[in-house]
Amino acid sequence: MADMDDDELLDALGVEFTPLKASSRTPREERIIAGFEDILRFHQTHGRAPRHGEGGEIFERLYAVRLDQLRKLPEAHALLAGLDKPGLLIGSSSAATDVDALDEDALLAELGVSHVVPDDDDITVLRHVRSSVEKRAAEEVADRSPCEDFENFRPLFERVEEELKAGVRKALRFGRDASVADGNFFIVGGQLAYVAAVGNTIKAPNGESDARLRVIYANGTESNLLRRSLQRALYKDDTGRRLSDPDMGPLFGGTAEPEDIESGTIYVLRSKSDHPFVEAHRELIHKIGVTGGKVETRIASANKDATYLLADVDVVAAYALHNVNRVKLEGIFHRLFGAAQLELTISDRFGNPVKPREWFLVPLAVIDEAVQRICDGSITAYVYDPQTARLVGPDATTGHSPD
């Protein structure tokens, strides 16, 4: 029998062989795309490109810097052309830093992408052999992959962003507290990251303890990098931040603060809207707000305001307050009932789509309990369980079922 090569032998045996297709994109390109997708999500939510400015929310400022860098990167224009439907890359850069002074390698470095192109004639460069540094980096950083159960984590990211805006959480420079634990949130490489799990303790090559993490990112990816790798990345990243745990601070007190109102009212409204979903769940859908004036004045033109679902409302509960911090109080309600926020889009008087806020699928009895726990300070130990429609405390048995 004549000698046959592998392909001929497979053909003779009737075996079809299809070579594995290599990924069409490099890891660098995948990371650039993932970063731009965050900017697109911001544009879709806010209807504009992210802007710079000290008064801006931290995520918006991070996205603005990233967008400026991408605009200066020729590779990004070609790579992202199919995604950039709003034309975000066409705009002018306005970063506070001098992006023009950065060459392509520096821009890639700012994006967290390493880009080294060795001279083909340089005999000192080993081909197809990874250096020990590259091997260690690959082991430490680990590849990101799509998070298959990201929908379970999405509400956490949305709640954290609301807590940051409300001042319930703060973004702190990483370093003073370098610990990494299950449930921590960080900003690394311009991405919001959540430590979903910490694996068993292992020994690092230098003898110190380490552990594998499951880290979920806000763009729907995840990685299994080492704890010490995450710490090093946060140390090196000028924008790396730890997010503090929810800390409401004093809501009531004898000293007035800038956001305090001397006296005010927490009001709970029920809509008279004829929207089919509202009609079907009218007894469960409530708007929770805080005002320093009269509630009647606040809702006088409710039927002309998309915030109130373009319909009249009934005041079903009101609670008088004194020396209360409005921002912190609203932050508490967003944190507590964020998972039950009404997902409803209506058209305003001009036909523009509006997604009203501060409407929640929560029974009135649970709102009443929440207010009482806010007043006595015990609310920080409770979460709202949408499945059972009650507040659940530390022992998982406290809380009252709705009447």
Structure tokens at 374: 């806010």
Q: Note whether 323 and 303 are within 8 A (CB).
A: no
Which pLDDT does position 128 carry in this prediction?
A: 42
**Does position 117 have pLDDT exceeding 60, yes or no?**
no
Distance CA 121, CA 304 (A): 73
Q: Are the C-beta atoms of residues 358 and 288 closer than 8 Å to each other?
A: yes
pLDDT bracket for residue 192 (50, 70, 90): very high
Residue 240 corresponds to which amino acid?
G
In tens, the pLDDT along 331-362 reads: 788 778 888 888 888 877 677 777 777 799 99
pLDDT, tens digit (0-9, with 9 covering 90-100), for 120-153? 444 434 444 444 444 444 444 446 788 988 988 8
Structure-model confidence comparison of residues 95 and 189, the more confident one: 189
pLDDT over 50 (residue 276): yes
Least confident interval from 27-41, 55-69, 172-186, 276-290: 55-69
| C-beta of residue 112 within 8 angstroms of C-beta of residue 118 | no
| pLDDT digit string, tens, across residues 31-76 | 888 888 888 888 888 888 888 876 667 777 788 888 888 888 888 8
DSSP β-bridge partners for residue 391: 384
Residue 5: its pLDDT value, please?
Answer: 61
Residue 55 DSSP symbol: T
Most confidently predicted of 115-119, 243-247, 268-272: 268-272
Give the per-residue pLDDT at 346: 80
Which comes out higher in pLDDT, residue 180 or 374?
180
Q: What is the pLDDT of residue 270?
A: 93
- More reliable by pLDDT, 396 or 34: 34
Average pLDDT (361-387) is 85
Q: Which tokens sit at 403?
A: 């009447």
Q: Measured between alpha carbons, how far is 175 from 168 in angstroms, rounded to an integer?
A: 21
pLDDT reading at 200 higher than 60: yes
Is the pLDDT confidence value at 94 over 60?
no
What is this structure's pTM? Answer: 0.39
Which one, of 329, 313, 328, lies nearest residue 270 by Cα? 313
pLDDT(249) > 90: no
Backbone angles phi, psi at 345, to 5 degrees: -115, 130
Answer whether residue 162 shows pLDDT above 90. Answer: no
Task: Give 93's DSSP letter.
Answer: P
CB atoms < 10 A from the CB of 271, how many?
23
Which residues on neighbouring strands pair with residue 210, listed in sequence order? 202
Rounded CA-CA distance 341/360 in Å is 4
**How far, in Å, CA of 261 to CA of 13, rounded?**
84
Burial class (CB in 10 A: 0-12, 13-18, 19+), 333: buried
For the chain, the domains span: 27-115, 136-243, 260-392
